Amino acid sequence: MAVAAALTAASFGYNLATDGPAGRPAGLRMIRTGGFDTRYLRWGTAGSPVVLVPGAFETAGTFAALGPVLGAGHRVFAIDLTGTGYSAPSPPFDARHLAAQVLAFLRAMHLTGANAPVLVGHSSGAAVVGMAVLANPHAAAGIVFLDGDATPLAFPSLAGWLLINPYRTTLVRLVVRSDWLIRQIYQSQCGPGCPPLSAAGVQAWRRPLQQPGFLDVVAYNLRHGIPSMSDAQLGQLRAIALPKVVIYGRDDPQLSPADAVAAAARIGARPPVAIPGRHLTMISSPRQLAVAIDAFIQAAGLSRVPAQTGSRPAAGHGGSTSRSRRGAGQAHALAAAADHMRSAHQAQEPCGQVVSERSGTAFTAAQKPGRIRLGTTSISRRLSARIAAALACKPAWFAGTRQRARPQGRGGAGRHGPVWLAVFTVMSVRLIRRRPVRLRCRDGPAGLGLHRRRWRACGPP
């Protein structure tokens, strides 16, 4: 009795010493709708909408590495579910109630009807997006189960009743306030492919879990388990004619390949897609995950480009408008190619193939790109940099042509690509602007410099 009394007194004392409101970062994006006060992040301004739903004890910030990559071709949103993170707590914290929050967010952001998004639910967030579709089958254009199968993962039944206050509060605060424990949990779930957590990274994981309502979420999950779907609900989801896919990490300790196959069959999805990583694939493999999600959207025919705004051209000006749209399409395609090559250089990966969503033009490069330095953000100079970037990869940088690499002994033309074609393209769309765009290749100086109405080689031909 004396020991129990001492532990209880120590627990009360610790809770009192650590009590108090935790700080909130400035500039949070919040939206109040349907009885929920939801915090969200967003990336991208064009393309198909995608909404990312986090799992248990995760927030919108968990998708910070994936959002910008996926946002290059889509309008991407990520939310904090109620009770975890910066969204205001609103019990109960089961999958049905959290799905209602997601649906309210979609309505508030006008992501409905023809603008319905692809819902991506990570871990237990898979159950949330599944329940959202059951509540409104037209709320989503497609769903992705990411590192989760929506099945129950119950805690020991007695834990929620034996681990009572003040001990539960003390234990949660001890875990959340420990830098070492946060790093250990992060590393075990993320794997060696994830960057180590800095002090700021630890704080980014800790602060959302110190907000009001999180202790209530922990208590609810200890008693009822994390959000999930029953077998009957999964069967109803299977019957809904909606594009579905399961994406998982090859080394996920919580979702084995066999579990992923079973999850796909359970919801009537295509065979699952494996990518490198463990349970936090959006952190360990954001580029591979973005490619997998984009491939699902393309294969399901869900890719959409918003209609161009503005009135129709007046009579006699249709040709000018047509040319401007073709130029915009070329800019979009070349921008996609250069963005991919620049990201491939940063990741030390070979150049690959990029398909422009607007024009359908494919670009292929066979070697790592050079380093690109952009001196301005104007569309014309950006596009000229894209052309120079395409020349940085050799020998075949444009998949639509049958240009073959020339031997080194033929004046080096094959080594630096079809410079004449680049010059012709530059002059045809009038990309000449104030300052030159320079390109430095990994294996030596080469490229194209543009200055007003003149062009010159940055290095030897």
Asked if 351 and 438 sit in the same domain, the reply is yes
Question: Are 347 and 385 found together in one domain?
Answer: yes
Coil, strand, or helix at residue 360? coil
Considering the domain architecture, whether residues 176 and 62 belong to the same structural domain is answered as yes
Determine the Cα–Cα distance for residues 457 and 449; give it in Å rounded to an integer. Answer: 6
Helices (H) and strands (E) in the chain, counts: 17, 15
pLDDT at 457 over 50: no
Q: Select from 238, 265, 299 the last residue of a domain.
A: 299
Indicate the helix (H) or strand (E) that contains 98.
helix 95-108
Q: Which residue segment(s) compose the domain that 88 sits in?
A: 29-299
- Overall number of domains in the chain: 2
Confidence class for position 461, pLDDT limits 50, 70, 90: very low
The per-residue pLDDT for range 116-172, each reduced to its tens digit, is: 999 999 999 999 999 999 999 999 999 999 999 999 975 555 555 557 778 888 888
CATH number at residue 238: 3.40.50.1820
> Per residue in 309-333, pLDDT tens?
333 333 333 333 333 344 444 444 4
Q: Looking at the structure, do residues 445 and 341 belong to the same domain, yes or no?
A: yes
| pLDDT tens for each residue of 245-274 | 999 999 999 999 999 999 999 999 999 999
Are residues 289 and 204 part of one domain? yes
pLDDT digits (tens, 9 = 90+) for 359-380: 333 333 333 333 333 333 333 4
* Residue 315 placed within a domain: no
pLDDT classification of 2: cutoffs 50, 70, 90: confident
Q: Does 256 fall in a domain?
A: yes
Q: Where are the beta strands (DSSP E) in 181-301?
A: 244-249, 273-275
Residue count of the chain, please give it.
461
Give dist(CA 160, CA 258) in Å, integer.
30
Tokens 């129709």 belong to: 312
Residue 32 — φ and ψ, nearest 5°?
A: -105, 120
| Same domain? 341 vs 253 | no
Return the number of other C-beta atoms located less than 10 Å from residue 301's C-beta: 10
Specify the pLDDT at position 300. 87
Instruction: Report pLDDT digits (tens) over 35-48.
Output: 999 999 999 999 99
More confident residue, 123 or 3: 123
Q: What pTM does this model have?
A: 0.66
Q: Which strand ranges, in their side-by-side order, compose the sheet holding 444-445?
A: 371-372, 439-441, 444-445
Task: Please tell me the least confidently modeled range out of 14-18, 211-215, 278-282, 352-356.
Answer: 352-356
Q: Is residue 351 part of a domain?
A: yes
Q: Specify the residue for token string 């959302």.
A: 208
On whether residue 134 sits in a domain, the answer given is yes
Percent of the chain with pLDDT over 90: 49
Q: Is residue 279 situated within a structural domain? A: yes
Q: Which residues contact 170 (CB under 8 A, 6 or more apart)?
A: 11, 14, 15
Q: Determine the Cα–Cα distance for residues 296 and 136; give it in Å rounded to an integer.
A: 21
User: Is 6 domain-assigned?
Assistant: no
Cα angle, residue 230 at apex, residues 229 and 231 outer, rounded to 5°: 125
Residues 6 or more apart whose CB falls under 8 angstroms from that of 171 comprise 163
Helix (H) or strand (E) holding 439: strand 439-441
99 and 197 inside one domain: yes
What confidence score (pLDDT) does residue 159 get?
A: 59
Integer CA distances (angstroms), 12 to 168, 215, 262, in order? 11, 15, 46
209 and 346 fall within a common domain: no
Confidence bin at 193 (pLDDT 50/70/90) = confident
Identify the domain boundary among 299, 334, 359: 299
Does 402 lie in the same domain as 267? Answer: no
Judgement on whether residues 186 and 282 belong to the same structural domain of the protein: yes
Classified as helix, coil or strand, 254 is: coil
* Res 440 pLDDT > 60: no
Helix (H) or strand (E) holding 221: helix 214-224
How confident is the model over 179-196, as a mean pLDDT? Answer: 92
Mean pLDDT of 230-237: 96
Q: What is the pLDDT of residue 304?
A: 66
Higher pLDDT among residues 392 and 156, named by residue: 156
Do residues 394 and 266 both lie within one domain?
no
pLDDT at 154: 59
Q: Is residue 24 part of a domain?
A: no
Whole-number Å distance between alpha carbons of 321 and 313: 7
The confidence score (pLDDT) of residue 167 equals 82
Q: What is the mean pLDDT of residues 68-76?
A: 96
Q: Are residues 373 and 429 in the same domain?
A: yes
Distance CA 385, CA 368 (A): 16
C-alpha–C-alpha distance, residues 428 and 350, integer Å: 30
Residue 305, domain member (yes or no): no
